[in-house]
Chain A
């Protein structure tokens, strides 16, 4: 048992050091695995902003994850083929520069989140879940039937996108690029949670009427938060596409939305570092249980079931002193 601050610090140190040691031991597999953990953690932090702190159960975050991935893939595809991207009468060049790829992923994911959120936030509860799921499934089926970018087979990237002065094909370099994004995501969301938007979001999770009676429009608060959440998840999708050098409709599927949601619940919904711990345990369980049985998801389901019944605050709650379930206040 330790304080939450100490645990958070240990999580970051652990994530920083393990891939470094694994590279020293010439084990690329572990480094790649940790890159995946960090990327899913970023997606989880994005979802947790609206799920844990805003009470919005989005079952369609794969839409943003997948869009980020496809933007990365499509830009690289056109760059490699020297073919411009044609949208109506406009033509754009592709790019393999990560800085541009990230900017495009952030912008388009947040715009998609604005669009989806605008309609979804007219509803609550089960309807909200269903609408977010429906939007994501629309994109999923669209990607399957889009032969230009591989349809069901997906799109391969011959090389990872580039960043000046760094070799992104080097596993440890790519890991630390993802790690830096994780730190940025943590700092950014931490800022938000302490900001006027953050306190309004936490309040509207519990009581819309009170929020309105103090002059705050809860719908606007939720929509802006949904956009930010979508942008962070989209960025994670972009990194995921570069990690695998491959993007396919799978990352737009409802299973992907479920995966992101599960790791958030597993780690701890109401805590900033919960999704990081969740992503770590999710991937480790996948590797460990997957090595023992093909039906590893059954056992994972059982673990989640027990956790939801007995430890709503997730794995974090087992490791820290503060047992306060819903840490929404200062």
Chain B
């Protein structure tokens, strides 16, 4: 029996004027998998993540989540369906406390955000769940800190916990290790290994050491087109990948 992908991207294209950011892309993501997306800057990786998460409308092609065509769904609808993402540049609510960022996302996940009369700060279920999530990323001691006072690494961790709060069916991480020191990167690697059992991960990353340590499968983009896909060995031995991307990274 054929295994059905959690995420299926079918002939996806996106252009900005004359520049083809994504050109007829096909990609699958299966359960328990970390699928890394690599390629030079401007190869269309982030554009793809934006289209999957609904922040950018594709010109043509389809996106399926668990066989449901979500191509025309809004970003917020996709989020509630379980597509959780982190951003290339940390995107959290800086003027909120750490725990309030999580209260916001838990409430968003459950809907009812137009409710006027319940006090979200007194919702014990959300507080308990928020602490559970902060425990996963080791941020419980900073729960009541203002996000604007957090270090870059802690903001990254908070973003991961926000993604997890959405009961994700799919995790999209856009350069989660960027700007992290060696120890923090290793913590992320260990964390992602555990998370992939909960939901498959599509990972964009420039740190090849982390990619090779984590990824079950790697796809390489160049000028918006998929030029190779396979495991670490296949990618490393691919002449075209060596030429356009890995040549100076190995």
The yes or no answer to A33 lying at the interface (CB within 8 A) is: no
Give chain A residues whose Cβ lies under 8 Å from the Cβ of B114.
Answer: 196-197, 220-221, 224
- CB-CB < 8 A to B113: which residues of A? 196-197, 200, 215-217, 221
A selection of 19 A-B contacts at a CB cut-off of 8 Å is A191-B116, A191-B117, A194-B119, A195-B116, A195-B117, A195-B118, A200-B107, A200-B113, A202-B95, A207-B94, A212-B55, A213-B84, A214-B79, A214-B104, A214-B166, A215-B77, A215-B166, A216-B104, A329-B146
Enumerate chain B residues within 8 angstroms of A191, measured Cβ to Cβ. Answer: 116-117, 119
Q: A39-79 interface mask toward B, CB cutoff 8 Å, 1 = contact, 0 = none?
A: 00000000000000000000000000000000000000000
B109 to chain A, nearest CB (A): 6
**Which of the residues A194, A196, A209, A329 comes within 8 Å of B95, measured between beta carbons?**
A329
**Smallest CB-CB separation from A228: which chain B residue?**
B116
Contacts of B121 in A (CB 8 A): 194, 330
Chain A contacts of B246 at CB under 8 A?
Answer: none
B109–A195 touching, CB < 8 Å:
no
Asked whether any CB of chain B lies closer than 8 Å to the CB of A8, the reply is no
Shortest distance from the beta carbon of B134 to any chain A beta carbon, whole Å = 16
Is B195's beta carbon under 8 Å from chain A? Answer: no
Of the candidates B111, B117, B118, B146, which one forms a contact with A215 in the assembled complex, judged by CB atoms under 8 Å apart? B111
Query: Which residues of chain A come closer than 8 Å to B97, judged between CB atoms?
Result: 329-330
Of B11-19, B85-93, B231-239, which stretch is located at the interface?
A: B85-93
Question: For the complex, is A93 an interface residue (Cβ under 8 Å from B)?
Answer: no
Question: Which residues of A have CB within 8 Å of B103?
Answer: 199
In the complex, which of the residues B109, B116, B146 contacts A214, with contact meaning CB atoms closer than 8 Å? B109
Query: Which of B87, B104, B109, B166 is the one whose CB lies under 8 Å from A209?
Result: B87
The docked-state distance in angstroms from the alpha carbon of A200 to that of B93 is 11
Q: How far is the CA of A328 from the CA of B100 in the complex (A)?
A: 10
> With A209-B55, A215-B79 as given contacts, are A203 and B119 in contact (CB-CB < 8 Å)?
no
A202–B120 alpha-carbon span in the complex (Å): 13
B93 touches A196 (CB 8 A): no
Q: Distance (Å) between the CB of B169 and the closest chain A CB? A: 13
Closest B residue, CB atoms, query A204: B93
Contact B79 A330 (CB under 8 A): no
A329 to B97, CA, bound (A): 6
With CB as the reference atom, state the residue of chain B lying closest to A217. B76
Contacts between chains A and B (CB distance < 8 A), count: 112
The contact size tier of chain B is: 35 or more
Point out which of A209, A215, A328, A329 has the most chain B C-beta atoms below 10 A from its C-beta: A215
Interface membership of chain B positions 60-90, coded 1 if the CB is closer than 8 angstroms to chain A and 0 otherwise: 0000000000000011110110001101000
Residues of chain B within 8 A (CB-CB) of A329 are 95-97, 100, 146
**Closest residue to B98 on the A side, CB-wise?**
A329
A203 touches B104 (CB 8 A): yes
Question: Once bound together, how far apart are the Cα atoms of A209 and B50, in whole Å?
Answer: 11
Judge if B58 is at the interface, Cβ distance under 8 Å: no
Rounded to whole angstroms, the CA-CA distance of A73 and B119 in the bound complex is 38
Cβ contacts under 8 Å, A200 to chain B: 104, 107-108, 113
Smallest CB separation, A212 vs chain B (Å) = 4
User: Is the pair A326, B95 in contact by a Cβ cutoff of 8 Å?
Assistant: yes
User: Which residues of B lie under 8 Å from residue A214 when comparing CB positions?
Assistant: 79, 104-105, 108-109, 162, 165-166
* Complex contact B79–A213 (CB within 8 A): yes
B118 to chain A, nearest CB (A): 6
- Which residue of A is nearest B121, CB measured? A330
In contact, B87 and A197 (Cβ under 8 angstroms): no
Q: Is A210 an interface residue (CB 8 A)?
A: yes
- Whether A209 pairs with B91 at a CB distance below 8 angstroms is yes
The answer, yes or no, to whether B115 is at the interface (CB within 8 Å) is yes
Q: Is the CB of A206 within 8 A of B104?
A: no
